[in-house]
Amino acid sequence: MKVSLLTSTLDVRKGWGRYSAALSVALARAGLPVELHVPARGRAELPATPGLEVRRSLPAAFVTFGWRPWRFLSLYAGSWGVRPTGRLIHSLVEVPYACPARWLARRYKLPYLVTLHGSYAVKWSRHPADRLLFGPALRHASLLVAVSSRTAESARSRLPAPPIQVIPNGVDVAAFAGAAAARDAARARLGLTGNDKLILSVGALKPRKGFDTLIEAFAILRRSVPSARLLIIGSGNPAPYRELAHRLEVASAFHILQNLSEEELRGFYHAADVFALLPKELPTGEMEGFGLVYLEAAACGKPCVGTRSGGVPEAILDGQTGLLVPADRPEEAARALRELLGNADLALRLGDNGRRHAEEHSWEKIAARYAALYEAVLRKSP
């Protein structure tokens, strides 16, 4: 059984890219032939994997049609250059390729699936043009796949017709767990001493990630744990967060790093004592669909602090692999961080549990669930 996948990016610094690259490779390694369609322009580097073919065939990606008819024309015209040879089509992102997935499925009489990641499972419904085009593309899918129950719940409020199956994100456990040797070099790069306690956060620098709350929590924590240090790794504009750290007088203990290699990133996961990311749900519908970074930290044996927001409670098991706090509550986040930094036995127990939780989400196991899902879809298709 060969499958045709569509995605907007393979850039592993972005959530969609990390998911798309890892799942495509895992499916091929599981023995499922994969034809991966990506935009003609953009990064498309993947490790050479038997059974995985990358085709630069898709028109340019965007996240909204808005009132821009030329975007529809370019997407529709560009879809005619895509010739899937798989038995089904799976768009690994909601926008914009749910639309070409539907058009190609009708043209070639194939079933099609779309993955829902979080914000964009519902964000399309806020604009009339997007509702007109993305709405039918999602409603007519053979199956929708949500990365968390919270994402599925949010989508069902706008997409009552198609069935939705939950398959969470995965993690390359061996790659992350095996990077422990890079710990000392990562700590030295930050100038940390043996007594310093490092809190790590990873994610794009945008409002829904809650980095402002984390910095405020860090400022509170420093009053009782002066050895604490905070490192944020992520793409985007760092200026607002540096300014906030200066205003709260914690700039000397605060770092932001960008454009790291995968090897460097894994080293910093191991260098940390605690991982923390405090997402929030915004009025626009934006939310953390799952939180792949929590699994990456768990694969390195790190306890996590997150929020009861979006799909985070499915990535962190509260009291088992980490601690959950309300969103936008820096005092509560500071308390959780203090508890983990001050209780080595608790941190070790949660970290060990987290590693086992990550192993249950290995990409090998997630790919097997997708392969079974594809078989089920094909059995039901005419």
**CB–CB of 334/208 below 8 Å?**
no
Q: Which of 317, 6, 254 is nearest to 141 (CA)?
A: 6
pLDDT of residue 42: 74
Whether residues 148 and 206 share a domain: the answer is: no
Whether residues 45 and 94 share a domain: the answer is: yes
Whether residues 299 and 373 share a domain: the answer is: no
pLDDT for 93 beyond 80: yes
Whether residues 185 and 163 share a domain: the answer is: no
Whether residues 231 and 155 share a domain: the answer is: no
pLDDT of residue 13: 85
pLDDT for 335 beyond 90: yes
* Structure tokens that stand for 224 in this block: 């009782």
Q: In sequence order, which residues have a C-beta less than 8 Å from that of residue 131 and are 6 or more positions away?
A: 124, 125
Whether residues 188 and 85 share a domain: the answer is: no
Domain residue limits at 353:
173-359
pLDDT of residue 160: 83
- Over residues 218-231, mean pLDDT: 98
pLDDT of residue 140: 95
pLDDT of residue 162: 84
pLDDT for 382 beyond 80: no
Check residue 318 and report its DSSP letter: B
Whether residues 325 and 272 share a domain: the answer is: yes
pLDDT of residue 55: 95
SS3 181: helix
Whether residues 195 and 342 share a domain: the answer is: yes
- Over residues 128-133, mean pLDDT: 94
Q: Can you point out the beta strands (E) in the chain?
A: 3-6, 34-39, 52-58, 88-91, 112-116, 143-146, 164-166, 197-202, 228-233, 254-257, 274-276, 304-307, 322-325
Whether residues 212 and 335 share a domain: the answer is: yes
Query: How many domains is the chain built from?
Result: 2
| CA distance linking residue 107 with residue 89, whole number of Å | 12
Check residue 136 and report its DSSP letter: H
Whether residues 319 and 371 share a domain: the answer is: no
What CATH number does the domain containing 330 carry?
Answer: 3.40.50.2000
Per-residue pLDDT of 8-22, as tens digits, reads: 999 988 889 999 999
Per-residue pLDDT of 27-63, as tens digits, reads: 999 999 999 999 998 776 788 999 999 999 999 999 9
pLDDT of residue 138: 96
Whether residues 207 and 97 share a domain: the answer is: no
Helix 15-29 to helix 363-380 angle (10° resolution) is: 80
What torsion, rounded to 10 degrees, do the Cα atoms 138, 144, 145, 151 define?
60
Whether residues 257 and 227 share a domain: the answer is: yes
